[in-house]
Each structure stands twice: as structure tokens, then as C-alpha cells.
Structure 1
Amino acid sequence: MEFSASKRIIHGFAPAFALLLLGSLAAAQSPKKSDYLENIALCNGPGHTSLAARIGGCTAFIDSGQGTKTALAIAYNNRGNAHTINGDVDRALLDFDKSIKLDPTYAKAFNNRGGAYLRKGEYDLALQALDEAIRLKPNYGRAFVNRAGVFLKKHEYDRAARDYDEAIRLEPNLEAAWSGRCWTRAIIGSLQAALEDCNKVLQSWPNDAATYDSRGLIHLKIGEAAAAIDDFSAALRVDPKLASAFYGRGLAKLRSGDKAGGDADISAAKAIQSGVDDDFVRYGVRADN
């Protein structure tokens, strides 16, 4: 699958916000204490809190004037995360900048700023932010995953693989690291190792469209067209607009002798994403292979 920034960016929400220095004891005992604590809880985004509620809670807390610098840095970071997920990346970047200004040692804000720049396609700025996150917190597995995502976009696959290796070493349960490494290994031709990574992800997360898509590419490259079709179809059941899965399935169908089905899938892929055929050439797969 073509690397999807929205699916692979790992954000740094800050739970236990309420345990930080949120204000004076007098403020905590004010008549508006319940509202104050509710805003903190919403800003932390527990459970299935909507993005609008997270943003509203963070904004109310920030505007209350009751937070310490540390707490405000977390609130801006959390609001920035919500804006990023909501697709408002420019507004998110403003929040991450404010968070970093309040606390220049806050690695999560640098990580999330890097993720936001990745979404915007500003890869050099993303790398600067992620390098700083890793400098501040060398054991930050999520930042290594996000930096690997930047390297994928820059087609620097060996560097991406090294970052995924480090992320897995630091945080062995990061799904995005295993799935991303599967994809990266599939591109560079380490197919058996890639297959092992994908299988590991799907054992624990059986509805991950990107990993099915990656495994489909592996099967396509090793000549197992039927298995590739099954995996690409599984990816499309989860994500019906995944252009790379349509294109890969189309190639697999063509190689199986199903010209009508293959041509239809390839046309669907190109309608969703222009240049998807060029992507597959870069991955080492041509339509006439």
C-alpha cells in the first residue's frame, strides 16, 4: 500500500493530565471546580470523546487562565492532536508551536508537529521536528515510526526500515511499526521477513486494511496471484477506497487470466489516485510483469 500518513501517524496524547500542576488549590476549590475538571477530562479525550468535545474542553481550559505552563503545553498539544485528526492541520500546527513555546523540552509536541507536517507533505520540516523529538526522548518509539513514515514518502526505504527496527526494539507492541516494516521490507525485497511482519500484525489486528494491502504486494511479488487477490480483497472490505489495493488486485487478476476484472480494478484505482501505476513501478511491480 502507498504509505498513508493519516493511518500511520502516531499521536502523543497526554493522559493523566489532571495529575499535573493544573492551578492553585484555591482555583480547584472555586464554585466552577466541576467545570474546570470536566474540561480537563474532555481535553484528555478519554474513551469515545468526540473531536469537537476534545477541542472544546482544551479551549475552555486554556481560556480559563488557571493552568500552569506545563498544563497549558499539554492542553495545546492535545488540542493540536484533535485538529490534526479532524483534518485542520494548519490550526494544529499553531497549537503545537504554542505548546513548544511553553515547554521546549516537550517531546510529544515535537512528534505531533512532525506528524502534522507529514500530512501536509512538508517532509523536511517534518524531519526537523521528529529529529528533535527523538533527541529529547531517545526511547520514543512513536517518533521513530513517524520519522520512518517521512522516509517512506521520500523513498528512502533503508532509512525507514532502520527506524521501524528501532521503534520495535523500543516498543514491541506498536502495530504501526510492524505494519510499516512489513510494507518497507516488501518494497526493498526482503519478502519472507516482510511476510512474517504482516502475519504478526494480522494475528492481533485482523482488520488492518494497510497490512492486508502490504501482504497482497508480497504475494504479488512472489508470484502467488490467488493469495494476492484474497489479501487485496480483504483490504478493500475494510477500506473500499484504497487505490493501491484496487491496483494490486487488478494486476493479480491480469496474471490469473481475468483481463476484464483486472482492467476494471486498475481503472478504479486510477480514478481514486492518479499516479498509482507509477507507485507500483517504484515498488518493483510493473503491469506487464
Structure 2
Amino acid sequence: MESSASGRIVLGLAPILALLLFGSPAAAQNPKPDGYLGNLELCNGSHRASLERRINACTALIGSGQLTTAALAVAYNNRGNAYASRSDYDRAIPNFDAAIKLNPGDAKPFNNRGVIYLKKGEYDLAIQSLDQAIKLNPNYGRAFANRAGIYLKKQAYDRAARDYDEAVRLQPDLAAGWSGRCWTRAVLGALETALADCNKALQSGPNNAETYDSRGLVHLKMGQLDAAIDDYDSALRTEPKLASALYGRGLAKLRKGDKAGSDSDISAARTIQAGIGDHFTRYGVE
């Protein structure tokens, strides 16, 4: 789904090893008593700290003047991730750019920058960045899944399906890969395999709204209306304003003869996303 495919992304967080941070084993064992180890753990995301604390910790490490080049690149990457997590994309991108400049052989910041370009709607730049991530690391399942999400946005469903195939082959535990392929196959009409993919996604990771929304579309296209409504209900419990789930549930209710319930859901969906009906027409659902 265009409205939620961009959620199936995975940023790459890289740990700063103590050896890289301090330059030598001896220095790692005897860090200066100024909070470096605490900043290291925060920048690595080791604690459930606020994004602001993570950003401040990475900033302190970057400004310390004591990082090796490799560690400095990781600190920029991790600070970029923290900015991305608070949707501050214009600050995230320069951090990924800095990480790439310092360590152009690391695929993670290319992947992460591609994710941010995707979120900004700059699809060609996103593909370029993810192409480079995959070139550097052909076994990078997350990058394949993220690039597939861009092809979904561009309505290149066959290309998306091929990238999702690679993502789940390379990383079978990547729930975003199974969920994304479920949606793609549902749109393409491969409903039985789509259903298996959604079930796998729900077994592999957190039961998120997108996967239930995808499985709802599968059941809707299969004519299994009660199952579709159940899945859309599950999606909406987590994301009450997910337009595709509201619209899909409205269509399922309409087919069951619940005109009032259908009108309420479809009206709510169109309020959130005016063109949602056109999307469903493109997905093969009238």
C-alpha cells in the first residue's frame, strides 16, 4: 500500500567498538573520566534513553577529537539514525553524508540515507543510495527490502517483488521483508502465496498494523470477508487512522450488506486520504 509501504524500512545501527573509539586496547581500558563510556553506550542506542540524549551523546563523541576515522563515521551514522527517529530528516541526511565521506566502504549509511530519501518522497535519490548499499554488500537483506519499498511507491510491483524475494532469501527473519512481499503479491494477485507471506511476517516479528492491513487486502480479494474485517480491526487497533485499513474494512462491510458501517469507514478513510479509492482500484478491488 502506498500509504504504509514506506513504513517497512529498516535503519542500520552500527556499534562503536571501544578499540575503534579509543584507538588502542590500553586506552580502551583506561578511558578519560569524562563520561566517554556513557556517551558510547548512549550513541550506540544501548539504553532506552530519549532521542535527545542519544543525539547529545553522539555529538559529544564527534566533537571530542579522540575518535578514529572509522569510529567517527559510526558516530555520524548513529546520530543520523537518531535524527531520523524523530523525523528530523534534513538533519539526518548530512550525518549520513558525513559517515559515507569518512568510510565510503560501509553499506549502512547508504542504506539509511536511502530510507530518508524514501520518507522525503525523493525516490530516485533513494534508489541510487540503496543501489550503492547493495553494491557494497550484496547480502544486505534490509537494503533489498528498503529498495522494494521504493519500487512499491513507484508502482513497479514486479521489481518490488524481486527485491523482496532477495530480502527474505538473505534474511529469513526479516519480518519487514515477508510483510512487504505479502502486500506486493496481494496487489499482483498471487493471493495464496501472499497469505503465506503475511502469516510468516506475523510469526517472525511484532504483529504490526501494516501486516494486518496487507493480510486484510488478501482476504478481501479472496472474498473471505469476515477474516478481512478481523484483520482490518487488528490493524486499526494499533493505527486508528490507517486509511487503507478503514477503506478496506468499509468495502468488506459493504459486501456483507452493512451499508451504514461501510459508509462510516469509507468516509473516514477518504477524509484521511482523499484518493484512497483510486489506490484500491489499482490494486484490483472495486
- The TM-score range, normalised by the shorter chain, is over 0.9
Contact map agreement 2:6 2:149 (CA 8 A) in 1: no
1:266 is paired with a residue whose SS is helix
Q: Distance in 1 between matches of 2:18 and 2:30?
A: 18
Question: Match for 1:172: what amino acid?
Answer: P
Q: Distance in 2 between matches of 1:111 and 1:51?
A: 20
- Higher mean C-alpha displacement, 117-126 vs 17-26: 17-26
Q: Name the counterpart of 2:220.
A: 220
Q: Name the counterpart of 1:117.
A: 117
For residue 275 of structure 1, report the CA deviation from its aligned partner.
1.2
Question: Match for 2:160: what amino acid?
Answer: A
> Which consecutive segments of 4 or more residues in structure 1 shift more than 6 A?
none
Q: Distance in 2 between matches of 1:249 and 1:58?
A: 44
1:7 aligns with 2:7: yes
1:272 aligns with 2:236: no
Identical columns (%): 66
For residue 209 of structure 1, report the CA deviation from its aligned partner.
1.1
Q: Name the counterpart of 2:55.
A: 55
Q: TM-score, normalised by structure 1?
A: 0.94
Q: Distance in 1 between matches of 2:278 and 2:165?
A: 27
Q: Name the counterpart of 1:188.
A: 188
Question: Match for 1:23: what amino acid?
Answer: F
Contact map agreement 2:2 2:152 (CA 8 A) in 1: no
Q: TM-score, normalised by structure 2?
A: 0.95
1:102-149 per-position Cα deviation (integer Å, ceiling 9, x unaligned): 111110000001001000000000000000000000100010000000
For residue 274 of structure 1, report the CA deviation from its aligned partner.
2.1
Q: Name the counterpart of 2:179.
A: 179
Q: Name the counterpart of 2:90.
A: 90
Count of paired positions: 285
Question: Match for 2:37: what amino acid?
Answer: L
CA RMSD between the two structures: 1.7
1:79 aligns with 2:117: no
Q: Distance in 2 between matches of 1:4 and 1:208?
A: 11
Q: Name the counterpart of 1:256.
A: 256
1:222-255 per-position Cα deviation (integer Å, ceiling 9, x unaligned): 1111211111111101111111000000011111
Unpaired stretches in structure 1, ≥5 consecutive residues: none
Unpaired stretches in structure 2, ≥5 consecutive residues: none
- Higher mean C-alpha displacement, 151-160 vs 24-33: 24-33
Contact map agreement 1:27 1:66 (CA 8 A) in 2: no
Contact map agreement 1:5 1:118 (CA 8 A) in 2: no
- Higher mean C-alpha displacement, 152-161 vs 198-207: 198-207
Contact map agreement 1:207 1:238 (CA 8 A) in 2: no
For residue 183 of structure 1, report the CA deviation from its aligned partner.
0.4
Q: Name the counterpart of 2:20.
A: 21
